[in-house]
A = this chain, B = another copy of it.
Amino acid sequence: MKDYIKENEQRFFDELFTILRIPSISAKAEHKPDMEKCAQRLRELLLEAGADSAEICPTSGNPVVFGSKTIDASYKTVLVYGHYEVQPPEPLEKWHTDPFEPVIHDGAIWCRGANDDKGQLFMHIKAFEYMLRSGKLRHNVKFLFEGEEEIGSVSLPEWIRQNREKLKADICLVSDTTMISDKVPSINCGMRGLAYFDVKVTGPNKDLHSGHYGGSVANPINTLCDMISQLIDADGRITIEGFYDDVVELSTEDRELLAKAPFDMDEFKEFLDINEVKGEKGYTTPERKSIRPCLDVCGIWGGYTGQGAKTVLPSEAHAKISMRLVPNQLSSKINKLFVEHIRRITPPYVKVEVTPCEGGDGFLIPISSPAYKAASRAMAEVYGIEPVPSRGGGSIAILAEVQKELGIDPLLMGFGLERDTIHSPNESYLLSQLYAGMESIALFYQYFE
């Protein structure tokens, strides 16, 4: 489809930019109208690309966009999954350009969602359009684009259970992950799950003068820090009771296979500008960020955060605490363990509230399947080198559900790169990856039988 991309490049940009410009931030209620707008625009794009039908399906949360094209009932069906909402762009001051005004420079598109996941789902629409218009499409194709991936796909499981028939397919094709590098293509054969909590610590019922009370009353910020500090031990292991019970230790063989993916520690440190890495004892850096669970505070706040010195002993302190889980760890169980653990370590001089706010299980994908092999062959042809199987550290909560509820294995052909800094300021997506993705997907259709 190389030539097709060349001929249609400007139109592709125009179309993609119309969805990138919509600030469809699912974490913020005030962006509800943008969710509708973005869903609507995607529906149009699906119809323009050649879908038989495309509809906006209401859920208890943000709408799902569902489109389909039936070529022949006897053909295999590919279900394409993606999400049209994005992470909040904050901190805004670190962006070099407007987060919702895409620009092209240095061979990439710069915009929130350029990669995750608007850019990546767009590849699927265009690869489908090409296959259809060139008369090569020998599959039936369904598209499922949701609006809550970044907030844990809250409403989708229910919608999936209500639409089993509609969603029937042989494989669930997803581009929402990264590959090791554009020199080392990889296919994701497993992802981590997620458990995410808001924790609120309340000390005194009002903000106090730190001179009048300091030393005599527990400070909720200090207490929150004490509690957070206790969650990880000196060996980098999470101290929540029972946390590791369901973690499957990988065999030496599996670890050796994964270790084949190239990793350069000096490059890694230089990219992040850090002197030392940190993580669980006994595991390598690539293992720590993929096959091992972890705990991170994603946000913390309390007291006076303005300029200058306000001498306050605050009433409250807050943290957003997240855990990445590995396959076989159930987020519902971890939720319970975390809440119980926090209750256990809460000292008597403060009150603590824990609110679970996102979760999903991890999963594994068999690399011996025809779909994996077709993807591997397609990418090998585009990149000139066979892709390696890898394990992703991120989470796509809904894919474990798709596997369990619909019996459809996901296939993760992700074309993002580390340099894209998704979820961070200045997200970007290389044009070379956008195009290689389209080509790989088009070839996947040709090789998947």
Determine the residue in chain B with the shortest Cβ distance to A198.
Answer: B309
Q: In whole angstroms, what is the CA distance A35 to B91 when docked?
A: 31
A211's partner among B91, B152, B303, B392 (CB-CB below 8 A) is: B392
Q: In whole angstroms, what is the CA distance A304 to B196 when docked?
A: 13
Binds B, one of A64-72, A129-137, A272-280: A272-280
Selected A-B contacts with CB under 8 Å, 30 pairs: A26-B308, A87-B311, A88-B304, A150-B309, A191-B211, A207-B425, A208-B272, A208-B424, A211-B395, A212-B289, A212-B394, A212-B418, A213-B272, A214-B294, A214-B324, A215-B280, A215-B324, A216-B279, A217-B278, A217-B279, A218-B274, A222-B228, A225-B228, A226-B229, A275-B348, A297-B303, A298-B309, A301-B301, A310-B320, A311-B423
Copies in the complex: 2
Question: How many residues on chain A are close to B (CB under 8 Å)?
Answer: 101
Interface, chain A (partner B; CB < 8 A): 26-29, 87-88, 90-91, 94, 150-152, 178, 191-192, 194, 196, 203-219, 221-222, 224-226, 228-230, 232, 272-280, 285-286, 288-289, 292-314, 317-320, 322, 324, 347-350, 357-358, 392-395, 418, 421-425
Q: Which 4 A-B pairs have the closest CB atoms?
A: A211-B394, A215-B294, A27-B308, A299-B303
Q: In whole angstroms, what is the CA distance A275 to B152 when docked?
A: 36
A288 nearest CB across to chain B (Å)? 4
- Knowing A216-B277, A299-B314, A349-B277, the reply to whether A306 touches B211 (Cβ < 8 A) is no
The answer to whether A312 touches B424 (Cβ under 8 A) is yes
The answer to whether A274 touches B228 (Cβ under 8 A) is no
- Knowing A87-B310, A309-B152, the reply to whether A219 touches B296 (Cβ < 8 A) is yes
A115 nearest CB across to chain B (Å)? 11
> Counting chain B CB atoms within 10 Å of each CB, which of A209, A224, A229 scores highest?
A209
The answer to whether A349 touches B278 (Cβ under 8 A) is yes
The answer to whether A208 touches B297 (Cβ under 8 A) is no
Determine the residue in chain B with the shortest Cβ distance to A422.
Answer: B209
Determine the residue in chain B with the shortest Cβ distance to A323.
Answer: B214
A141 nearest CB across to chain B (Å)? 28
- Knowing A194-B211, A209-B394, A308-B357, the reply to whether A296 touches B322 (Cβ < 8 A) is no
The answer to whether A27 touches B204 (Cβ under 8 A) is no
Other A-B pairs beyond A215-B296, A308-B357, A311-B394, 5, CB < 8 Å:
A88-B308, A196-B311, A215-B292, A221-B298, A299-B310
